[in-house]
């Protein structure tokens, strides 16, 4: 029965990929299509208001600068609102202004598509802040990731001096993709009993005569973009384990597919741009193999229960239900945890801090690899980076200049890719070590021993991967954690974006080379194995030692 549930969700995803991937291609191909009739007049008004009558193509440098400046404007506006929310409208519950370091962390988190929350949504933010800061940045950060992927795809599949116009791509990402899908999903969730209101919290009298305050708000709208944009920040502190955010197994499946559909469909979009659909399916196949392997691990671990509890005489046949909702069970909890960390969404329907030691390996590994579907746009770009590395290694092995999609891969591109590749583990392992060198870091750990190591490791892994989920036993709302994770989130997002856009800018100017009998094929099943192997080898060499200190050591200690 569990296997059938999981297989049904995966099958639904497969039905979505082709139509959605084709639609995304039409949105960003800049070729006339049927959607122009409805969306072009809306965009024309936006362009006129923004003074963008001439939307000239950009070089990669101009594209990158435009992206960074736009994100900076959103950060500044959002920070001011959080610091003044007490005096702004739509605050029926009288929530106070957010503290400065927490405001910095929150803004950095939501602008980088991380959505790490060191606060509880229902008590830390007004309705105005939820809508104008949190939801606004959920749209903006998701659109930013998508246009980075589109720009990179253009860079490796077209010829010229441009990778597109950032502002045109950014606006289209909102008007033609994220907003229409979010409106539809919001209406679906409202129909399935997810609240959508501006009324203040409800105060009820319990059977014992006590007063209970029940928080409500514009939940459905936030849930829609939270998942479609691979954001993850919950309206409530319990996130998608809360019955108002995720009331039934049906909404659970809808939320899984919502956060999975755009990252998975972008592989098909890539194939359309490359004019060879096999290229897209090869990338999708490599991602799927890694996904299924890690899903099997977490499902096996959670189904077999906790060895420590089994040793105490408890029945392991029901699996490890600690921290899980009964309405979802083991299968949908394991699938949700795998998808949310594969797609670097960060939303959770169970508490990852309570996963068994072997179960913890799956979310940690998926965030460390950061290539298995990944967040909107970024996961595809990271996997294509590994594809270029694979081609480079194979070229060296046979003594041939490596080529990818007809472009020569030279030292300049490999140096930029190395920057993106090495920045990720550095931003995880360096701050993790620093946290254990100071009481400011160690003081937040709630569990001694190996699990405490996993708590700290998970926090920085989630921040660097722009995921946002956490081991919630960590006391992270402190000056040290707010500043350190805020900086890690910013660097984890923008160092790789800048490096990989530079790669796209370099490749787009190169003269395509015709295929010959000696050209290494990247649309063959052999390349799937090479791609999976490169990802696992690089990941294992980088992260296995620290994993051995955390979840692996914990597993061995409780057997």
Q: What is the mean pLDDT of residues 402-426?
A: 91
Tokens at residue 13, please? 């995803």
pTM as predicted: 0.94
Alpha-carbon dihedral 539, 544, 545, 548, rounded to 10 degrees: 160
Contact 257, 9 (CB under 8 A): yes
Tokens at residue 11, please? 């099958």
Q: What is the mean pLDDT of residues 384-400?
A: 86
pLDDT given for residue 210 in this prediction: 86
pLDDT given for residue 472 in this prediction: 78
Contact 506, 413 (CB under 8 A): yes
HSE-up of residue 158 (Cα within 13 Å, Cβ side)? 17
Q: In the structure, what pLDDT confidence band is assigned to residue 193 with cuts at 50, 70 and 90? A: very high
The Cα–Cα gap between 196 and 150 comes to 33
The Cα–Cα gap between 153 and 99 comes to 40
pLDDT given for residue 142 in this prediction: 96
Distances (CA, A) of 113 to 225, 231, 257, 269, 377: 11, 5, 18, 21, 11
Supply φ then ψ for residue 472, to 5 degrees: -70, 0
Bridge partners, residue 143, by sequence = none
* Cβ-Cβ contacts under 8 Å for 13 (sequence gap 6 or more): 257, 260, 261, 264
The DSSP string of 346-363 is: ---SB-GGGS-HHHHHHH
Mean pLDDT of the chain: 91
Percent of the chain whose predicted confidence (pLDDT) is above 90: 71
Q: What's the pLDDT tens digit per position in 204-231?
A: 888 888 888 888 889 999 999 999 999 9
Find tokens 């105005």 and name the residue. Answer: 128
pLDDT given for residue 225 in this prediction: 95
Q: What's the pLDDT tens digit per position in 283-315?
A: 999 999 999 999 999 999 999 887 777 777 776
Contact 458, 470 (CB under 8 A): yes
Higher-confidence residue: 447 or 67? 67
Q: What's the pLDDT tens digit per position in 4-43?
A: 999 999 999 999 999 999 999 999 998 888 889 999 999 9
Q: Which of 281, 21, 30, 72 is nearest to 177 (CA)?
A: 21
Tokens at residue 221, please? 């709208």
For the chain, give every domain's residue range: 2-558
Contact 260, 343 (CB under 8 A): yes
pLDDT given for residue 53 in this prediction: 80
Three-state SS for 511? coil
Q: In the structure, what pLDDT confidence band is assigned to residue 83 with cuts at 50, 70 and 90? A: very high
Supply φ then ψ for residue 43, to 5 degrees: -65, -35
Higher-confidence residue: 122 or 389? 389
Q: What is the mean pLDDT of residues 499-526?
A: 86
Q: In the structure, what pLDDT confidence band is assigned to residue 164 with cuts at 50, 70 and 90? A: very high
Higher-confidence residue: 493 or 401? 493
């Amino acid at each position: 029965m569990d296997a059938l549930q999981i297989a049904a969700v995966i099958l639904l995803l497969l039905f979505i990929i082709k139509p959605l991937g084709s639609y995304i291609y039409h949105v960003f191909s800049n070729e006339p299509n049927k959607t122009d009739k409805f969306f072009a007049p809306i965009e024309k008004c936006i362009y006129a208001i923004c003074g963008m009558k001439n939307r000239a193509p950009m070089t990669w440098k101009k594209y990158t600068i435009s992206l960074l400046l736009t994100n900076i404007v959103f950060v500044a506006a959002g920070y001011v609102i959080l610091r003044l929310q007490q005096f702004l409208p739509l605050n029926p519950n009288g929530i106070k202004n957010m503290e400065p370091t927490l405001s910095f962390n929150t803004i950095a988190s939501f602008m980088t598509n991380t959505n790490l929350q060191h606060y509880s949504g229902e008590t830390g933010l007004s309705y105005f802040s939820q809508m104008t800061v949190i939801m606004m940045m959920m749209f903006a950060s998701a659109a930013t990731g998508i246009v980075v992927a589109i720009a990179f795809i253009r860079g490796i599949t077209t010829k010229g001096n441009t990778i597109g116009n950032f502002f045109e791509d950014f606006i289209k990402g909102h008007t033609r993709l994220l907003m229409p899908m979010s409106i539809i999903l919001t209406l679906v969730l409202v129909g399935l009993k997810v609240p959508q209101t501006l009324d203040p919290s409800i105060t009820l009298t319990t059977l014992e005569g006590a007063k209970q305050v029940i928080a409500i708000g514009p939940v459905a709208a936030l849930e829609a973009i939270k998942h479609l944009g691979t954001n993850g920040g919950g309206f409530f502190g319990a996130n998608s384990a809360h019955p108002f955010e995720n009331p039934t197994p049906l909404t659970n499946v809808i939320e899984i597919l919502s956060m999975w559909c755009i990252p998975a469909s972008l592989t098909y979009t890539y194939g359309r741009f490359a004019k060879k659909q096999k290229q897209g399916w090869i990338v999708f196949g490599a991602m799927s193999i890694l996904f299924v392997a890690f899903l099997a691990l977490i499902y096996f671990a959670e189904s077999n229960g906790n060895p420590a509890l089994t040793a105490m005489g408890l029945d392991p046949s029901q699996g490890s239900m600690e921290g899980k909702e009964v309405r979802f069970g083991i299968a949908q909890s394991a699938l949700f945890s795998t998808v949310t960390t594969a797609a670097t969404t960060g939303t959770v329907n169970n508490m990852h801090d309570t996963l068994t030691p072997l179960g913890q390996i799956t979310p940690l590994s998926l965030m460390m690899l950061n290539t298995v579907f990944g967040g909107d746009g970024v996961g595809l770009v990271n996997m294509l980076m590994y594809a270029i590395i694979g081609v480079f290694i194979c070229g060296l092995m046979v003594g041939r200049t490596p080529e990818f999609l007809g472009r020569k891969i030279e030292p300049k591109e490999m140096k930029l890719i190395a920057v993106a590749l090495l920045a990720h583990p550095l931003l995880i392992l360096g701050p993790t070590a620093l946290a254990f060198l100071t009481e400011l870091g160690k003081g937040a750990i709630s569990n001694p021993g190996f699990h405490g190591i996993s708590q700290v490791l998970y926090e920085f892994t989630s921040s660097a991967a722009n995921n946002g989920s956490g081991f919630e036993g960590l006391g992270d709302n402190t000056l040290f954690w707010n500043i350190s994770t805020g900086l890690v989130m910013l660097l984890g997002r923008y160092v790789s974006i800048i490096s990989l856009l530079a790669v796209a800018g370099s490749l787009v100017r190169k003269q395509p080379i015709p295929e010959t009998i000696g050209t290494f094929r990247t649309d063959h099943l052999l390349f799937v194995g090479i791609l999976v192997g490169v990802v696992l080898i690089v990941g294992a060499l980088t992260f296995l030692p620290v994993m051995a200190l955390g979840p692996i050591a914990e597993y061995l200690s409780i057997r």
